[in-house]
Amino acid sequence: MATVSEDSESGSSLFSELFVGSLYKARQGRIVRQVTCLALWLSIWLGAWQLYETLGSYSYSDWSESTRDLLTKGTYVVPLVLVALGMWFSFRLVNWPKFADFLIAVESEMTKVSWPPKTELYRASMVVIFTMAFLALLLFAYDMLWQAIFDGIGVS
């Protein structure tokens, strides 16, 4: 009996999808796919910025001048290359059939959600905020109580 792999059922593997230029079901789930791609891009940009800051903070004074120039250029080039690769990977990921079908299903489910009116949302948010503040104060009081008890019996 022959078995069918999961990759052949939904199209192709993610690796082979990286080298394709077409869009999968371009008109379906556009908003969720665009927001997901933008969130991934933002994460990649922030990571590259942190990498740039980290590489720029190193002192290359112990290296020869030619090596120092190469390392200084790498401070700019490495994050930019990673951004370019990461943006392409993110774009292809949201068009990978398995992931794209999931995002399309997410968008269709989001249209079925009944969102509360603004006044109800405000009331519910206030209840949550006040409950969290009350619990924080209660935990602070318990902490102070236990600290006083332990200090009273000589335990530090």
- Domain spans of the chain? 22-113, 114-156
Sorting pLDDT into bands at 50, 70 and 90, what band is 43? very high
Sorting pLDDT into bands at 50, 70 and 90, what band is 64? confident
Res 18 pLDDT > 60: yes
Task: Say how many Å lie between the first and final Cα of the chain, rounded.
Answer: 69
- Residue 153 is predicted with a pLDDT of 93
DSSP 18: T
- Residue 71 is predicted with a pLDDT of 74
This prediction's pTM: 0.63
Burial class (CB in 10 A: 0-12, 13-18, 19+), 72: middle
* Residues above pLDDT 90, as percent of the chain: 49
Q: Which residue has the tokens 């999961």?
A: 6
- Residue 59 is predicted with a pLDDT of 67
Enumerate the H helices of the chain as residue ranges. Answer: 6-10, 14-17, 30-56, 65-93, 97-110, 118-153
DSSP 60: -
* CB contact at 8 A, 59 and 108: no
Q: Give the long-range contacts of residues 52-59, CB within 8 A, separation 24 or more.
A: 52/76, 52/79, 55/79
Rounded average pLDDT over 46-63: 82
What are the pLDDT digits (tens) for 23-40?
A: 788 788 888 999 999 999
CA gap 127, 130 in Å, rounded: 5
What are the pLDDT digits (tens) for 95-138?
A: 888 889 999 999 999 889 898 999 999 999 999 999 999 999 99
Rounded average pLDDT over 63-78: 77
The helix/strand/coil state of 3 is: coil
- Residue 36 is predicted with a pLDDT of 94
User: What are the Cα distances from residue 148, in Å, to 137, 141, 152, 154?
Assistant: 16, 11, 6, 10
